[in-house]
Amino acid sequence: MRVSAGDDGNVSIRPAERADLLAVVHIENASFSQPWPYDAFEGFLDESGFLIAEHDGDVVGYVVADVSRNFGRQLGHVKDVAVHPERRGLGIGSALLTRALAVLVAQGADTVKLEVRQSNDGAKRLYRNFGFEPLRRVPGYYEDGEDAIVMIRKLE
């Protein structure tokens, strides 16, 4: 899949590889106050929902999504998504999410959920654009005490 990077070329979305992990961690650290460590990403290398957005050979974003069995159903989970701070607002996050949802559908998920910080209005807008609806609040979900909003969406 290729999307416009807004300036000098295209962004392609592809499965993550070990060689991407340092760049992924760099973006993660620039994006979150409680970033995932290297090992956490390493553990998802075999997961087809771990995808990279690449532009001119540089990693500019990623998404981590998987499927687990939940009360007899296949539940998709978008666990992490971030775009390099200088590359936001160009459609890369949307492209990553589109592709991740397609992977989850291919893996048999009929519903997908995610958690988002209550204060993260940009991400909440992105998810609403994708048809996610708030399901419930989880008080103190994050280590700094902030609440999470669980959002879900049915998949066809």
Convert residues 49-88 into a mask of x (bound to ligand COA by CB under 6 A) and - (unbound): --------------------------------xxx----x
Task: Say whether residue 122 binds ligand COA (CB under 6 A).
Answer: yes
Task: List the beta bridge partners of residue 64.
Answer: 50, 80
d(CA 118, CA 143): 13
Residues 6+ apart with CB under 8 A from 97: 63, 78, 81, 126, 130
Task: Say whether residue 137 binds ligand COA (CB under 6 A).
Answer: no
Of residues 21 and 82, the one with the C-beta less far from ligand COA = 82
d(CA 9, CA 3): 9
Q: Residue 72 Cβ, how far from ligand COA at the closest point, in Å?
A: 27
Q: Which residue bears the tokens 């669980």?
A: 150
Q: How many CB atoms lie within 10 A of CB 135?
A: 12
Of residues 89 and 139, the one with the C-beta less far from ligand COA = 89
10 Å CB burial of residue 11 (0-12, 13-18, 19+) is buried
Residue from 129, 137, 140, 154 that binds ligand COA (CB under 6 A)?
129
Convert residues 17-56 into a mask of x (bound to ligand COA by CB under 6 A) and - (unbound): --------------x-------------------------
d(CA 85, CA 52): 15
Task: Say whether residue 91 binds ligand COA (CB under 6 A).
Answer: yes
Q: Interface with ligand COA by CB under 6 A: which residues? A: 31, 81-83, 88-94, 116, 120, 122-123, 125-126, 129
